[in-house]
Structure 1
Amino acid sequence: MPVKEYPTPEEAGDALAARFPLDDRMYSIGADELDFMRSQTGIADDGELKRHILRLQSEAYAIYPYPCIRRFGFIRFKLSRLPDYDQVIKLGKERKNAILLDVGCCLGDDVRKAVVDGFPAKQIVVSDLHADYWELGHKLFRSTNDSFPATFIPGNVFDPAHIEITAPLDTPPTDPPPELSSLKSLNPLRGHVSAIHATSFFHLFDAEKQEEVARAFAGLLSPLPGSVILGMQSAAPATSGLKADVYGPEGGRFYLFSQTPEAWTEMWDGRVFKKGTVKVETRLARAWVATDEMQYDFLQWSVTRM
């Protein structure tokens, strides 16, 4: 079935929000995530915390009705569930001037967990197409730019003024890392980023656009061994291609382009990076989402400089 198109993203969002209104029966949170939300917000009462989360969900859904917001993905651990998460935290603790970049950060729960686990907040850069999400993140976690001094940079990954595609560096840049708080785009970070996280992100684009984004990320990544790009997305165990999300079959933009582990590996090791200069690891996982009464195949992956 062809993807249903709308004239503008705003019209697509209006159609999705009307067809799939929020439903608080979808609210669920793991014990460790609940403890994290209590500690971050200072709200000890579970009923009050749920109401707080529901209010912020409504505000975020009004900006754009992504499925992950409807399913409360913005309060669930993603980065910290990945196999290479410990490597990210180790970089933050041990590498001088290590920088963590989270693209498609939404309300920022993943980087906040990374800070709790030891990655310095002042060495974190976050980015999203929707600038209002970061302010909502401060409301959700009851923080400020002073209490949580990560650097937020709004922008479109396909805009070269935000991220220009450049070849991956073979040797470390000679210039020092930029002052993060002064950044207006991601381009000054070329070759300086130790870890890049992107979850529920690549599958929003077709194969050609996915490779375009991958090349942009590769130019930002430090050439030092151990530097890593990692994430999770919809998977296609057998054949890469369009895969209807729960928003289908007439859900507009949210047909996901899912890749097989083999296709994903071939893209990074040989086309984006010179073959043999990175180690690509993939892991297929299947999850049952009771609220949707559907099973989902996920691809957890990492691309590490050798």
Structure 2
Amino acid sequence: MGVASMRTKLILSSLRPPSRCKNMAADDIHESHDAVLRGKVYIDTLPADILPAKKLLEKYSGIRSKDVDRHIHHVRDRMWEIQPHVFVGHFRFLSLGFTSDPCYHAALRRLLQPKPAARLLDLGCCVGQLLRQLAFDGVDTTRLYGIDVEPRFLDLGYELFRDRRKFKATLIIGDLLKPGEAGTGEETLKALDGRMSIVHATSFFHLFAWEDQLRAAVRIVRFLDPSDYGVMIFGRQVGSTMPGERKGPNGDRRYLHDQETWQALWDEVGKLTGTSWRAIIDPLENEGGNTDGIDDTLRRVRFSVHRA
């Protein structure tokens, strides 16, 4: 199951009309759904935390400051038509919070070195915001790779950043959890095996049950250069002070980690791949989970994984 398709299913399942609405006209139901979306996962005002992204669009993309807000709204609403999810509705695809992660700066230093030529792969790259920030920070974009299951997001990234001619990263439509299935990009993904120095994966692992996380992690290891002992996997996800399996809004199973279980997952990856890993989780200060008061054990965390 792809990340984008999962997100779409989750939001649509949460919008099923209650039984008391079964006799409402179709237009009334549609209107009530729009109201729910507006109140829950779609906002009109640009949040303050995307100010760095607005500056990036001005300096990297050359969009005039007076036009930036309108441009963002236009692209966001195009994305909303594809996937009506809070990630889109709240402009989270424009968050550049990763720039505060020490692992981002470690990755940047490696990518700026002329030799050896490090490469970075962004899983679930969406519109490629991390890749564009790296490009703005001076990285040769031929060293950058991105994977997403939604091809329209990859295309909208060029529209958002207005860089189709100058951005030379390799963007691939693919699904790590469906190897060998038609339309999952597996043959293209195989071409990346053994070539990556760094893998970024934000809001990825926490969407899946333990066994699917394990499958994805084993696949990620295949992307990494086996001769490079400085390889790194990093990103953000939702963790928990009480790790374990949770049931998602659509009845799907998800596993949330603390430090101990995150290491345990990567110990299992090591056994399956003949490798050894040191896995780290750090809670993000002043950032809880997206709980709406339902579960105060959830925590937003940053993670990294290194060869042991």
Q: TM-score range by the shorter chain?
A: 0.7 to 0.9
Q: Could you tell me which of 130, 153, 168 is aligned with 1:133?
A: 153
The answer to whether the Cα contact below 8 Å between 1:281 and 1:303 also exists between their aligned partners in 2 is yes
Counterpart in the other structure of 1:142: 162
1:110 offset after TM fit, Å?
Answer: 0.6
After superposition, the Cα gap between the structure-2 partners of 1:13 and 1:267, relative to the gap in structure 1 and judged at 3 Å, is same
Q: Indicate conservation of the 8 Å contact 1:238/1:260, yes or no.
A: yes
Work out which of the residue numbers 102, 108, 116 in structure 1 matches 2:136: 116
Residue of structure 2 equivalent to 1:299? 301
The answer on 1:225 being equivalent to 2:224 is no
1:5 corresponds in structure 2 to none
Where does structure 1 differ by over 4 angstroms across 4 or more consecutive aligned residues? Answer: 8-17, 253-256, 286-289, 291-296
Q: Distance in 2 between matches of 1:201 and 1:82?
A: 17
TM-score, normalised relative to structure 2: 0.77
Distance 1:218 1:141 in 2: 30
Counterpart of 2:276, as a letter, is T
Partner of 2:123: 103
SS in 2 for 1:303: strand
Count of aligned pairs between the two proteins: 270
**Is the contact made by 2:262 and 2:280 (CA closer than 8 Å) also made in structure 1?**
no
Whether the 8 Å CA contact 1:204–1:256 is kept in 2: the answer is yes
Partner Cα separation in structure 2 for residue 236 and residue 9 of structure 1: 20
Residues 281 and 302, structure 1, Cα contact 8 Å, conserved in 2: yes
Structure with the largest fraction of helix: 2
Amino acid at match of 2:280: E
What's the counterpart of residue 244 of structure 2? 240
The Cα offsets for residues 237-295 of structure 1, whole Å up to 9 and x where unpaired, read as 22223276xxxxxx537886421221011111x21125983322210125458x99668
For residues 203-232 of structure 1, give each alpha carbon's deviation from its aligned partner in whole angstroms, at most 9, with x where no partner exists.
111111111101110111113121111111
* Greater C-alpha Rg: 2
Q: Report the equivalent of 2:260.
A: 262
- 2:43 is aligned, of 9, 17, 23, to 23
Q: Gaps spanning 5+ residues in structure 2: where?
A: 1-5, 16-32
Matches within 5 A, 1:131-170: 131-144=151-164, 146-161=165-180
Gaps of 5+ in 1: 1-7, 163-182, 245-250
- The separation in 2 between residues aligned to 1:102 and 1:10, in whole angstroms, is 20
- Structure of greater relative contact order (alpha carbons < 8 Å, 6+ residues apart): 1
Paired residues of 2:245 and 2:253 also in contact (CA < 8 A): no
Judging changes above 3 Å, is the alpha-carbon distance between structure 1 residues 56 and 186 closer, same or farther for their aligned structure 2 residues? same
What residue in structure 2 maps to residue 281 of structure 1? 280
Alpha-carbon distance change, 62 to 52 in structure 1, aligned in 2, over 3 angstroms: same
- Which amino acid is the alignment partner of residue 150 of structure 2? H
Report the secondary structure of 1:235's partner residue. Answer: strand
Over 3 Å counting, the alpha-carbon distance change for 1:9 and 1:225 in structure 2 is: closer
Alpha-carbon distance change, 134 to 254 in structure 1, aligned in 2, over 3 angstroms: farther
Identical columns (%): 25
TM-score (norm 1): 0.77
Distance 1:235 1:56 in 2: 30
- Tell me how far apart the structure 2 counterparts of residues 9 and 283 of structure 1 sit (CA, whole Å): 25
Q: Give 3-state SS (helix, strand or coil) of 1:92's partner.
A: helix
Q: C-alpha distance in 2, partners of 1:299/1:282?
A: 6
- Separation in 1 of the partners of 2:280 and 2:48? 30
